Amino acid sequence: MRDALGVVAPTATLRLLHLPDGTLGDHEDDLTAALQDEIAALTGMTDAASHRILVASPWTGDGHRDHRIVGALAERVATEAGATVRGYPIWLWHWGTPADVPWDRAEVVTLDDAVHDAKRRALAVHDSQLRPLSDASGDEAIVHDGMQEHFARYQEILIRPESVSREAAASTPRSHFEQFFATHDDPWGFRSSWYEHRKRELLLATLPRATYDAGLELGCATGILTSRLADRCAHLVAVDFAEEALTAAARELVGRDNVTLQTAALPHEWPDGEYDLVLLSEIGYFWNVADLDTAIDRITQSLAPTGHLIACHWRHPMPENPTGGDEVHERLRANSRWQSVAVHIEKDFVLEVFSPYPARSVAQEMGMLP
């Protein structure tokens, strides 16, 4: 364990409880206290909201008694503390079939080459599990080649507890954003990151029209993109519910008389009016499914009959968020009241343009096509 951890997370702290194998049910108090201590220490050390702490434990359905006990205890303690919890299967890959996996609660985490290589090297140090102890019958490797193939994949499958459905998961609270904007001079690298600069230019290039009468930016953050959108809109309403973000945005937008900054706890508080441009960028995955669906309904009501919705979201897994970027766009596409008219998909993000039926292309709007 020490050698493997040194490969995948050399700065991590390993705490061994020295509890006996096979009888963890007799030591639940010790396990509970240890996990509560770790969560409390993380909260105090990082001053982080508890929902940003991820507790990963063996999956309760893994078919191993100790794994079931640890998994159930982790679910209970993490839930009580407001932390996020996920289970990882181990022995399921030995005895299970596809029908044994609760796919409706499964989440896939894709590993990049560096992380995958580190995991491979970390697994290789477990000699007693991966290699036969001897040539004698009964000394075969415990984790056979077929089972090892599951661990060698570029994906990890995590299982949400039954008590934590997508619908039950809470949207990211206002306090998280207030703290984030208060402690970061350049949130998410909006100003300094080439990634953000390039994505911003791509987003602006997808706008089907040169100018819009009325624009609505949902989650304007510090106003970096807002400033560019103001060049394309006669009037722009930029909304956020973090006061720290709006304070920074006000500094960014000095002299922009065509921009109105507004505080609103989206999606339940919503700006009045009809807009021919609505921007939903890097915000949808902070909502749970119920709030996301509410936002989609509100956007539908706000969008002019010939308007455009521009949506852009990060595609990589973020366990602390209630939904993922791809899921946001799947739900947008499922809305029968509009259709996707342009899509740009990269490994990192998806950028998409929607318009109410019957949607018209840029060439159609310019009279180049009927």
pLDDT value for 16: 93
**123 in the same domain as 192:** no
320 three-state secondary structure? coil
Residue 352 lies in a domain: yes
- Phi, psi for residue 280 in degrees, rounded to 5: -120, 90
pLDDT for residue 276 is more than 70? yes
Residue 127 lies in a domain: yes
pLDDT band at 342 (very low <50, low <70, confident <90, very high): very high
CA distances from 354 to 13, 140, 212, 282 (A): 47, 57, 15, 16
pLDDT for residue 48 is more than 60? no
pLDDT band at 47 (very low <50, low <70, confident <90, very high): very low
Report how far residue 166's alpha carbon sits from residue 352's, in angstroms, rounded to the nearest whole number: 23
Contacts of 146 (CB under 8 A, 6+ apart): none
pLDDT value for 176: 77
- Phi, psi for residue 6 in degrees, rounded to 5: -65, -25
Task: Select from 109, 129, 159 the last residue of a domain.
Answer: 159
pTM over 0.95: no
pLDDT value for 145: 85
Amino acid identity, residue 172? T
**337 in the same domain as 253:** yes
pLDDT value for 266: 94
Residue 332 lies in a domain: yes
Report how far residue 83's alpha carbon sits from residue 99's, in angstroms, rounded to the nearest whole number: 29
Domain tally for the chain? 2
Share of the chain above pLDDT 90, in %: 60
**134 in the same domain as 71:** yes
Residue 370 lies in a domain: no
Domain span including residue 113: 2-159
**130 in the same domain as 196:** no
Residue 166 lies in a domain: no
Section 112-133 average pLDDT: 91
**343 in the same domain as 246:** yes
**180 in the same domain as 254:** yes
**150 in the same domain as 216:** no
Residue 168 lies in a domain: no
Pairing between strand 212-218 and 155-159? unpaired
**66 in the same domain as 213:** no
pLDDT digits (tens, 9 = 90+) for 91-116: 998 888 888 888 878 888 888 889 99
Query: In terms of Cα–Cα distance, which of 224, 348, 350, 216 is closest to 295?
Result: 216
Dihedral sign for Cα atoms in the order 74, 93, 348, 267: negative
Query: In terms of Cα–Cα distance, which of 178, 179, 168 is closest to 47?
Result: 179
Task: Select from 159, 194, 216 the last residue of a domain.
Answer: 159
pLDDT value for 166: 53
pLDDT digits (tens, 9 = 90+) for 142-158: 888 888 888 888 888 99
Q: Are 170 and 84 in contact (CB under 8 A)?
A: no
Report how far residue 312's alpha carbon sits from residue 329's, in angstroms, rounded to the nearest whole number: 9
Report how far residue 28's alpha carbon sits from residue 73's, in angstroms, rounded to the nearest whole number: 8
pLDDT band at 49 (very low <50, low <70, confident <90, very high): low
CATH of the domain at 215: 3.40.50.150
**47 in the same domain as 126:** yes
Of 84 and 169, which is predicted with more confidence? Answer: 84
Task: Tell me which of 20-34, 52-66, 166-180 is least confident.
Answer: 166-180
Task: Select from 159, 184, 212 the last residue of a domain.
Answer: 159
Section 334-344 average pLDDT: 93
**209 in the same domain as 351:** yes
pLDDT digits (tens, 9 = 90+) for 213-258: 999 999 999 999 999 999 999 999 999 999 999 999 999 999 999 9
pLDDT band at 204 (very low <50, low <70, confident <90, very high): very high
Section 296-325 average pLDDT: 91
Section 293-299 average pLDDT: 94
Of 280 and 104, which is predicted with more confidence? Answer: 280
Q: Kindly report the number of other CB atoms within 10 A of residue 101's CB atom.
A: 17
Residue 47 lies in a domain: yes
**207 in the same domain as 66:** no
**309 in the same domain as 221:** yes
pLDDT value for 169: 65
pLDDT for residue 163 is more than 70? no
Residue 184 lies in a domain: yes
